[in-house]
Amino acid sequence: MESEALAGWLGKFEIQIMRGDQLEIVKFPNLITDAWLNTVRDATMSATPMDLQIKYIALGKDDGTILPLAPSNTRLGNEVERKVFTKIEKDGTGVVKRTVNINSAEGNFHIKEIGIFAGSVATSALNSGILVARVFYDRDKDELESINIVRTDIVGRL
């Protein structure tokens, strides 16, 4: 008997906001970009190894006014700051969790978008790399709080 199994890629964010002794947690899915899906596709066709490492998280100030959310996005609308993921762990078959801390001195502006970037051309420079995912997020962060951003990528059967 023949069976058909579907596979897919799911990305989601968990934002942990710490302000004094209070903890607020927000979870939401995001948009995986065409550029990332095509990069993964092309890597399976190439005789030359490709860098698919997800390296940076970026914060920006665009709520879609500059660049609407779309699968064709290749950058954030108004990237302001980016950081390297500080913790990367396997969390089951096909699951990777990446965490970064935005401490009290960082990201102190009205955050309106978050993106993650990968590939050999992803550096600490703004707007560099392959945009894997982008999401709108609305937070007026200040120096009285720190934020952990946990990115979970799941590649698996549906």
At 72-85, the pLDDT tens digits run 999 999 999 999 99
156, pLDDT greater than 90: no
Task: Provide the pLDDT for residue 46.
Answer: 84
4, pLDDT greater than 80: no
9, pLDDT greater than 90: no
Residue 36 CA to residue 133 CA, distance in Å, equals 8
The token pair that represents 108 in the structure block:
């102190």
Task: Provide the pLDDT for residue 2.
Answer: 59
Tens-digit pLDDT profile for residues 93-108: 999 999 999 999 999 9
Residue 154 CA to residue 119 CA, distance in Å, equals 18
pTM greater than 0.85 (yes/no): yes
Tens-digit pLDDT profile for residues 31-87: 999 999 999 999 989 888 889 999 999 999 999 999 999 999 999 999 999 999 999
What angle (nearest 5°) sits at the alpha carbon of residue 157, between those of residues 154 and 158? Answer: 100
Task: Provide the pLDDT for residue 1.
Answer: 52
DSSP alpha helix (H) spans, the chain: 34-43
| CA terminus-to-terminus distance, the chain | 19
User: What integer best gives the mean pLDDT of the chain?
Assistant: 94
Instruction: Determine contact, residues 56/116, Cβ cutoff 8 Å.
Output: yes
117, pLDDT greater than 70: yes
Q: How many CB atoms lie within 10 A of CB 125?
A: 11
